[in-house]
A and B are shown apart, each in its own frame.
Chain A
Amino acid sequence: MKWEVVIGLEVHAQLATQSKIFSGAATAYGALPNTQACAIDLGMPGVLPVLNEEALHMALKFGLAVNAHLSHESVFARKNYFYPDLPKGYQISQYEIPVVGRGHLDITLDDGTVKRIGITRAHLEEDAGKSLHEDFQGMTGIDLNRAGTPLLEIVSEPDMRSSNEAVAYLKTLHTLVRYLGICDGNMQEGSFRCDANVSVRLKGAEKLGTRCELKNINSFRFVERAINYEVERQIDVLENGGTIAQETRLYDADANTTRTMRSKEEANDYRYFPDPDLLPVCVNEELIARIKTTLPELPQEKRDRFMQHYGLNAYDANVLSSARELAQYFEAVVDVGVDPKLSANWVMGELLAALNKENLAIDESPIPPAALGQLLQRITDNTISGKIAKTVFAHMWLNEGSADEIIEKQGLKQVTDTGAIEKIIDEIIANNPQQLADYKGGKEKLFAFFVGQAMKATQGKANPQQLNDLLKEKLQKA
Chain B
Amino acid sequence: MSITKEQVDKIAHLARLALTEEEAHAYATQLENIFNLVTVLQQADTAEVRPMAHPMDAKQRLRPDVITEGNEREVMQAIAPLTDMGLYLVPQVIE
Q: Which residues from chain A sit less than 8 Å from chain B, CB to CB?
A: 17-19, 23-26, 32-39, 42, 50-56, 73, 75, 80, 82-84, 97, 131-133, 136-144, 250, 261-262, 266, 269, 271, 274, 276, 278-282
Contacts and interface: CB of A to CB of B under 8 A. Distances in A.
Given A38-B72, A142-B87, A279 B56 contact: yes
Given A141-B84, A143-B87, A36 B59 contact: no
Interface stretch (B27-35, B41-49, B62-70): B62-70
B54 A280 contact: yes
B93 A84 contact: yes
Given A80-B14, A133-B93, A142-B89, A36 B71 contact: yes
Kindly name the residue among B54, B59, B76, B88 whose own CB sees the greatest number of chain A CB atoms within 10 A.
Answer: B88
A261 B94 CA distance: 11
The 5 A-B pairs with the shortest beta carbon distances in the complex, nearest first, are A24-B68, A141-B87, A54-B65, A33-B86, A38-B69
Nearest to B53: A75
A472 B58 CA distance: 86
A434 to B, nearest CB: 75
A51 B60 contact: yes
A225 B76 CA distance: 43
Nearest to A24: B68
A25 B88 contact: no
5 contacts: A32-B86, A36-B71, A52-B65, A140-B89, A274-B54
Interface of B: 14-16, 53-54, 56, 58-69, 71-73, 76-77, 82, 84-95
Contacts of A136: 84-85, 87, 89
B88 A142 contact: yes
A30 B85 CA distance: 15
B71 to A, nearest CB: 4
Contact of A18 (B61, B67, B84, B86): B67
Contact of B14 (A50, A140, A269, A278): A269
B61 A139 contact: no
B67 A34 contact: no
Kindly name the residue among B71, B91, B95 whose own CB sees the greatest number of chain A CB atoms within 10 A.
Answer: B71
A21 to B, nearest CB: 10
A55 B65 CA distance: 8
A73 B15 CA distance: 30
A73 B58 CA distance: 11
Contact of A35 (B66, B71, B82, B92): B71
A137 B65 CA distance: 39
Contacts of A131: 93
Nearest to B95: A261
A282 B60 contact: yes
Nearest to B16: A82
B93 A42 contact: no
B76 A42 contact: yes
B61 A34 contact: no
Kindly name the residue among A32, A39, A141 whose own CB sees the greatest number of chain B CB atoms within 10 A.
Answer: A141
B83 to A, nearest CB: 8
A432 B23 CA distance: 106
B41 to A, nearest CB: 17
Contact of B63 (A24, A26, A80): A24
Given A84-B93, A271-B14, A280 B59 contact: yes
B65 A17 contact: yes
Contact of B62 (A37, A38, A39, A51): A51
B94 to A, nearest CB: 7
A281 B59 contact: yes
A274 B87 contact: no
A35 B86 contact: yes
Nearest to A77: B53
Contacts of B67: 18-19, 24-26
A280 B65 contact: no
Nearest to A132: B87
